[in-house]
Amino acid sequence: MGGRRHLTLVGAGLAGSLLAILLSRRGWEVDVYERRGDPRIKGYESGRSINLALAERGRHALRAAGVEEEVMRQAVMMRGRMIHGLDGSLQLQRYGRDDSEVIWSVHRADLNITLLEAAERAGARIHFHRRLHTVDFDAGYARLIDDRDDQPHDIRFETLVGSDGAGSALRAEMVRKAGFGERTEFLDHSYKELTIPPAEDGGFMIEPHALHIWPRGRYMCIALPNDERTFTVTLFLPNHGEPGSDEPSFASVRSGAEVRALFERDFPDALPLIPDLERDWEHHPPGLLGTLYLDRWHLGNRAVLLGDAAHAMVPFHGQGMNCAFEDCVALAEAMERDAGDLASAFAAFEAERKPNARAIQAMALENYIEMRDRVDDPDFLLQRELERTLQERHPARFVPHYTMVTFMRIPYAVALERSAIQRRILEQATAGRSDLSGLDWDALDRQVHGALPVLQDAA
Ligand code: FAD
Ligand code: 8RB
């Protein structure tokens, strides 16, 4: 293994490939084992065009790895939520104050390839078709399987880093050895992906610079733009309807004809945009949604988990990747600070990141209700108006929830705590009102000063 310190990463997805860059650049010798084939050769497996929302936390990590500019070249700006009413009405709700506060839609496959190439340039070795199967932590042996021929490949390791995603095999081995209090809370809702193709003239069928939402109370559709002029639509539905109601669910909407009837009734403006609706529906099983909690993320100096492997979350804040990227920077920094003692570096990483992962997991669950039910509600809109006004009056203290999560890098746990205080102020001040006239601004200003200390690098 030569003179340099060696690390073995499991999973060359988003976190694994980014971490490989950061650590290789810091002088670590890095081998990455990835279950799938090289996406540069055969195309991305399971590969329709899937996009993700990239926000400031993720961009900052990409910047640290020197790949931000390359990624941003293909990113599509999303300025806000485009709310599609049942009556066909459209309303853009901006995410931030101006175009410096926006999120970006990026292609998962392109992003992953960009990161893999940068990791290899930085000196990391990536081994494809190597699925982690079992680990002997005491002896320092791991068994990997090549799924093309079922052949085992055994390797020695000093330290394993688990970036193998929500179904992490490394986590399963760590849990088998040490417990870790693993639990997953599944949502009783699932999702299905559909596609809006380009228009006949090759352009976008609907406004490209927005994240589209069709809020329908207990369920919703969303759509994110792709740079090749398509949109990926995700329909989120309960698994089972409320007893006695006619609400759609994965149990009740089974056939292509039933999904067409659902769209005719609830998403009439989206229906003509999705020509392959029935085929998309019948060919892809619904995806499960859940939150994964662990009491511990590391096993001495032998193994550590990050990203979805450590804290998979529901998608509704669009922060799974952003949080995983933030983990990578935090882990690389902890390992730099404590290079001589990886067990204590991993413990410091876990202590820093676990409360923040818990916070974004909770906020992601909350944002489902907001997206599917609240965004078209007058009370909610009035609270957003007051939120913006209070931000203008107190830019360093009253920072909107979405801004703290999406456009800043303050710890998620701080965002959660301040959001709870702010929500109380907003709800209290707007209760029973239909507009902001007649509010006692002096009292509100005093309340803000009393409850919300100055937030460094807000304004
Ligand atoms: P992954 O990116 O899943 O990478 C895991 C890697 O490990 C994969 O390459 C996998 O093949 C490999 N692997 C798995 N098992 C093994 C094994 N046994 N041995 C070796 N390799 C293995 N997040 C956002 O921030 N914004 C979004 O808009 C967003 N949209 C999403 C849309 C969809 C449809 C989905 C499914 C997720 C979305 N997310 C989004 C979440 C985001 O994708 C994840 O949080 C992020 O990919 C986590 O990175 P990761 O590296 O931990 O896991
Ligand atoms: N995983 C997102 C947001 C917040 C948008 C807002 C929400 C699909 C699976 Cl559901 C969702 C957001 O509050 O206005 N930003 O980015 C991405 C989202 O879903 C992604 C595309 C998704 N993630 C399994 C499906």
pLDDT in tens, 116-136: 999 999 999 999 999 999 999
Closest CA to 138 of 301, 5, 294: 301
Range of the domain at 202: 186-288
Q: What is the CATH number of the domain that holds 45?
A: 3.50.50.60
CA of 171 to the centre of ligand 1 (A): 15
Domain finish residue from 261, 288, 315:
288
Q: What percent of the chain has pLDDT over 90?
A: 94
Q: Does the structure show a pLDDT above 70 at 157?
A: yes
Whether residue 394 is found in the same domain as residue 258: no
Q: What is the pLDDT of residue 324?
A: 99
Under 8 Å between Cβ of 364 and 292? no
Q: What is the mean pLDDT of the chain?
A: 96
For the Cβ of 390 lying below 6 angstroms from any atom of ligand 2, the answer is: no
Give me the mean pLDDT over the 420-442 stretch: 97
Any domain includes 222: yes
Q: Does the structure show a pLDDT above 80 at 47?
A: no
For the Cβ of 53 lying below 6 angstroms from any atom of ligand 2, the answer is: yes
Whether residue 222 is found in the same domain as residue 282: yes
Structure-block tokens of residue 292 = 């994964």
Cα 351 to Cα 260, 300, 330, 344, distances in angstroms: 48, 14, 11, 10
Whether residue 334 is found in the same domain as residue 397: no
Smallest-distance ligand from the CA of 33? 1
Any domain includes 85: no
Whether residue 198 is found in the same domain as residue 179: no
Whether residue 168 is found in the same domain as residue 57: yes
* Count helices and strands in the chain by DSSP H and E runs: 15, 19
Indicate the SS3 state at residue 109: helix
Out of 131, 284, 308, mutate this one to test ligand 1's pocket (max ligand atoms within 8 Å of CB): namely 308
Give me the mean pLDDT over the 286-291 stretch: 97
Q: Any idea what the Cα angle at residue 361 is, between residues 44 and 102, rounded to 5°? A: 65
Under 8 Å between Cβ of 289 and 308? no
Domain finish residue from 288, 316, 333:
288
Domain finish residue from 347, 367, 387:
367
CB-neighbour burial class of residue 442 (10 A; exposed 0-12, middle 13-18, buried 19+): exposed
Under 8 Å between Cβ of 53 and 75? no
Give me the mean pLDDT over the 74-81 stretch: 98
Whether residue 194 is found in the same domain as residue 169: no
pLDDT in tens, 363-412: 999 999 999 999 999 999 999 999 999 999 999 999 999 999 999 999 99
Going by their DSSP bridges, the two strands 29-33 and 6-10 should be labelled as parallel
Q: Does the structure show a pLDDT above 70 at 233?
A: yes
Q: Number of folded domains in the chain?
A: 3
Split at pLDDT 50, 70, 90, the class of 458 is: confident
For the Cβ of 248 lying below 6 angstroms from any atom of ligand 2, the answer is: no
Whether residue 133 is found in the same domain as residue 20: yes
Out of 83, 111, 211, 360, mutate this one to test ligand 2's pocket (max ligand atoms within 8 Å of CB): namely 211
Q: Does the structure show a pLDDT above 60 at 1?
A: no
Give me the mean pLDDT over the 28-47 stretch: 87
